[in-house]
Amino acid sequence: MSEKILAVAAGHEITEEELNVLIRNYPPEQQMYLSDPRARAQVLEQLIAFHLFARMAEEEKIMESEEYQTMIEKMKVELASHMAATQTIEGITVTAEEEEAFYQQNQSAFGQKASVSARHILVDSEELAQKAAAEIGAGKAFPDAAREYSTCPSKEKGGDLGYFSKGQMVPEFEKAAFEGELHTVIGPVKTQFGYHLILVEDKKEGEEVSFAQVQEQIHQQLMQEKQRKAYDQKVAELAERYGVEKKAV
């Protein structure tokens, strides 16, 4: 049975198989989009334009020009270099045992760390912190007190620091925020920056992520690391074999 012909451009019969081959060269996520008839029609238009320009190049003898020949030679070298580099990292694998070992050694890096959401007021003296705390205790809203008293840029947002996890704040501030009660003014807490009043508005417990949930992520990371190492080693080996002399840029 003859192939279905979708169009004829400059005498060239564009078949359904030619169109399908072109679509298969697209990334997987684009191939899903190209299953739509309207998208396939757009790709067909590209094929038609390709063959029309190919005929134009033939008539104008572009392939006989010096510029074309120079570009072809350059492309040959680039393709050969790319193939040689690809050959260097082909065959590299990552085992499930390596993935599991990486997970066990770096488990703390996966999942969501415990965090708190807090507001604070930063002032230069303990007396001023006590004054602000007294006004809040008497009914003044914490954000209003932050705008009035705080020297931290967060005062513009009512002292709101958003969510933060351990290691992001100075130790004294962090300890008070993580150990303090919700919706209760904490402080004054002295740090290297001054005296703080802290209002913890929310707390999120840390969430552990299983190996199965991150195995693919680990696989990709280890694969990239192995490939980069193999590539760098090969470059060093080739530099030793063929020589490299760097000039000032």
List the pLDDT tens digit at each of the 249 positions of the chain. 568 999 999 999 999 999 999 988 888 878 788 878 899 999 999 999 999 999 999 999 999 999 999 999 999 999 999 999 999 999 999 999 999 999 999 887 787 788 999 999 999 999 999 999 999 999 999 999 999 999 999 999 999 999 998 889 999 999 999 999 999 999 999 999 999 999 999 998 887 788 998 999 999 999 999 999 999 999 999 999 999 998 877
Contact 23, 31 (CB under 8 A): yes
Residues 6+ apart with CB under 8 A from 147: 155, 156, 158, 159
Where along the chain do its domains lie?
Answer: 5-89, 96-105+211-239, 112-204
pLDDT score of 208: 79
pLDDT score of 2: 67
Which is nearest to 189 in space by CA: 116, 122, 114, 117? Answer: 122
**Residue 74: C-alpha distances to residues 7, 54, 69, 71, 226 (Å):** 34, 20, 9, 5, 30
Total residue length of the chain: 249
pLDDT score of 71: 96
pLDDT score of 249: 75
Decide yes or no: CATH 3.10.50.40 for domain 112-204: yes
Q: Which long-range contacts (CB under 8 A, 24 or more apart) does 122-125 make?
A: 122/150, 122/151, 122/152, 122/193, 122/194, 122/195, 122/196, 123/149, 123/150, 123/151, 123/194, 123/195, 124/151, 124/194, 124/195, 125/194, 125/195
pLDDT score of 147: 96
Query: What's the rounded Cα separation, in Å, for the pair 240 and 69?
Result: 32
pLDDT score of 1: 53
Contact 25, 36 (CB under 8 A): no
pTM score of the predicted model:
0.56
pLDDT score of 156: 94
Which is nearest to 26 in space by CA: 12, 43, 4? Answer: 43
pLDDT score of 35: 79
